């Protein structure tokens, strides 16, 4: 069992300072921000959507093996109005994609990242280490009584993050900052990768996580 320090402003601040020192991560994030916010902000052209899907998958290693099908799926959903309205149900709709053989794949982590790149303060990112951290502190401190399955329902996932933030008196931080703290701390505590290893791993360490 990992020994994870209790969440506090000091803990969050330390990991945010560490995040700001990770040059490779920062450069990739800036490139994605430019791509999603300034170069191709809309989701009405298949070429634009495909470029965003493919780049996001390359940077985050999201195991998207069907980028064209996913891009077409996003295009068909006509997501722009729902993004602007902060529609939390959009994530699960994007996640479930019917591929060529008729089976339905659930690209949940990818879908959270795709929406987050458009509106990072409204759509926090789900990944396996954030999941582990939230379950750990649920079991340690009882900040919420959610089930493991609730973390895969995006509206519930966001509510759990808000409860986490309130329980530990972290309201000064937005959800993107909370997300970064949980990811970095979870990666360090549950993958046995030290902060020094993470900082010097360079391109060999993905910015995100595989589900």
pTM score: 0.90
Provide the sign of the torsion angle of the four alpha carbons 132, 133, 136, 137, taken in this order: negative
Q: Is the dihedral of CA 133, 153, 37, 99 positive or negative?
A: positive
Q: Which of 132, 142, 145 is nearest to 182 (CA)?
A: 132
Rounded CA gap, 136 and 128, in Å?
Answer: 12
Residue 98 in 3-state DSSP? Answer: strand
Q: What is the pLDDT along the chain (211 residues), one digit of tens a residue?
A: 568 999 999 999 999 999 999 999 999 999 999 999 999 999 999 999 999 999 999 988 888 888 999 999 999 999 999 999 999 999 999 999 998 888 899 999 999 999 999 999 999 999 999 999 999 999 999 999 999 999 999 999 999 999 999 999 999 999 999 999 999 999 998 875 555 555 544 433 444 433 4
Contacts of 67 (CB under 8 A, 6+ apart): 50, 53, 54, 57
């Amino acid at each position: 069992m990992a020994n994870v320090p209790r969440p506090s402003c000091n803990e969050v601040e330390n990991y945010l300072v560490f995040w700001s020192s990770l040059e490779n991560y920062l450069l990739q994030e800036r490139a994605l921000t430019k791509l999603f916010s300034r170069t191709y902000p809309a989701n009405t052209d298949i070429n634009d959507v495909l470029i965003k899907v493919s780049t996001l998958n390359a940077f985050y290693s999201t195991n998207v093996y069907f980028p064209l099908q996913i891009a077409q799926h996003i295009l068909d959903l006509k997501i722009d109005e729902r993004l602007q309205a902060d529609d939390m149900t959009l994530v699960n709709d994007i996640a479930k994609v019917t591929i060529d053989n008729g089976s339905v794949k659930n690209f949940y982590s990818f879908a959270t990242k795709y929406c987050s790149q458009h509106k990072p303060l409204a759509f926090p990112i789900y990944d396996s280490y954030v999941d582990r951290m939230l379950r750990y502190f649920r079991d340690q401190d009882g900040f919420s009584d959610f089930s493991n399955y609730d973390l895969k329902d995006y509206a519930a996932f966001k509510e759990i993050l808000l409860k986490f933030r309130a329980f530990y008196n972290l309201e000064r931080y937005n959800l993107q900052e909370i997300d970064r703290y949980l990811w970095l701390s979870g990666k360090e505590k549950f993958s046995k990768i030290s902060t020094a290893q993470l900082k010097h791993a360079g391109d060999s360490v993905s910015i995100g996580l595989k589900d």
